[in-house]
């Protein structure tokens, strides 16, 4: 996954643990796609201040993820659940529900996801 | 859910954000079911010190959950996924896979879970 999108997810997961100011800077940068200059002008601080704020906030978010790993777990589950969903849709699209093997593998996969939550 | 079990889950989710000492006290209390007196004796601190540590650590964990809500989301997803699993097992137990309505509702439910992750 691309760095920008990765930090946006980290911000979604752990943003509330940042200071309101840190959150504001990162939100403008990662969610609203403002440039450093635009944020500086909007918040009336220096461009360097914004740069430092983004860097520090991003590192703080990464530290939370290193300690907790909730995003890693989320992405793993999302991938598994999308696979199950697409398998079940395949059964559905077949017109009638008859593919027992797919259902079996969906059940197995779901058991893994749940045990692993 | 019972308070003790609830804090044990919070500890599992956010324990790594506590200080090592706080984590140790809460781990002994909530996961190993030591009494306050046993923890005091093991860590060579006063019973009151343990009591305060448990109380403070528990409050810190609750503050993390108030801010992030990851446990609430986890429990909601766990419940939904177990429902899907049990529905799929019902189809499987029917001997052959033929209940299209159940598959449809599993797909719908899974879509909700994934959109909501």
pLDDT at B76: 83
- Residue A48, judged by CB atoms within 10 A of its CB (0-12, 13-18, 19+), counts as exposed
Does residue A95 or residue B23 have the better pLDDT?
B23
pLDDT at B94: 58
What is the residue-averaged pLDDT of chain B? Answer: 87
User: Which DSSP string do the residues of A7-28 spell out, in sequence order?
Assistant: HHHHHHHHGGGS-HHHHHHHII
Query: Which residue does chain A place closest to B69, by CA atoms?
Result: A13
Q: What share of chain B is helix, strand, coil (3-state, %, to 5)?
A: 85, 0, 15
pLDDT at B93: 56
CB-CB: which of A78, A92, A104 is closest to B103?
Answer: A92
pLDDT at B112: 78
Q: What share of chain A is helix, strand, coil (3-state, %, to 5)?
A: 85, 0, 15
Query: Which residue does chain A place closest to B17, by CA atoms?
Result: A67
pLDDT at A82: 82
Distances in Å between the Cα of A14 and the Cα atoms of A54, B10, B22, B66, B87 are 14, 15, 21, 12, 34
Please tell me the distance from the alpha carbon of residue A77 to that of residue B29, in angstroms, as a whole number.
30
Query: Which residue does chain A place closest to B109, by CA atoms?
Result: A85
Alpha-carbon A38 to chain mean position: 25
H or E element, residue A106? helix A100-115
**A111 interfacial to chain B (CB closer than 8 Å):** yes
Mutate to test the interface with B, among A66, A108, A114, A115 (most CBs of B within 10 A): A114
Going residue by residue through chain A, which has 117 residues, state the pLDDT in tens, using 9 for 90 and above.
788 999 999 999 999 999 999 999 999 999 999 999 999 999 999 999 999 999 999 999 999 999 999 999 888 888 888 888 777 777 665 555 556 667 777 777 777 777 776
pTM, two decimals, is 0.80
pLDDT at A104: 74
Interface of B with A in 10-49 (CB under 8 A): 13-14, 16-17
pLDDT at B65: 97
The count of CB pairs under 8 A between chains A and B is 84
pLDDT in tens, B27-38: 999 999 999 999
pLDDT at A92: 61
Of A103-112, B83-92, B96-105, the range with the lowest mean pLDDT is: B96-105
State the pLDDT confidence band at B11, using cuts at 50, 70 and 90: very high
**B100 interfacial to chain A (CB closer than 8 Å):** yes
């Amino acid at each position: 996954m691309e760095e920008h999108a990765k930090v946006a997810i980290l911000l979604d997961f752990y943003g509330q643990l940042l200071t309101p100011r840190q959150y504001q800077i990162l939100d403008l940068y990662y969610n609203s796609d403002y440039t450093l200059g635009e944020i500086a002008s909007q918040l009336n601080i220096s461009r360097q201040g914004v740069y430092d704020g983004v860097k520090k906030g991003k590192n703080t978010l990464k530290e939370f993820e290193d300690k907790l790993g909730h995003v890693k777990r989320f992405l793993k589950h999302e991938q598994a659940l999308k696979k199950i969903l697409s398998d079940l849709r395949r059964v559905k699209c077949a017109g009638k529900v008859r593919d027992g093997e797919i259902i079996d593998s969906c059940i197995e996969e779901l058991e893994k996801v749940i045990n692993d939550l």
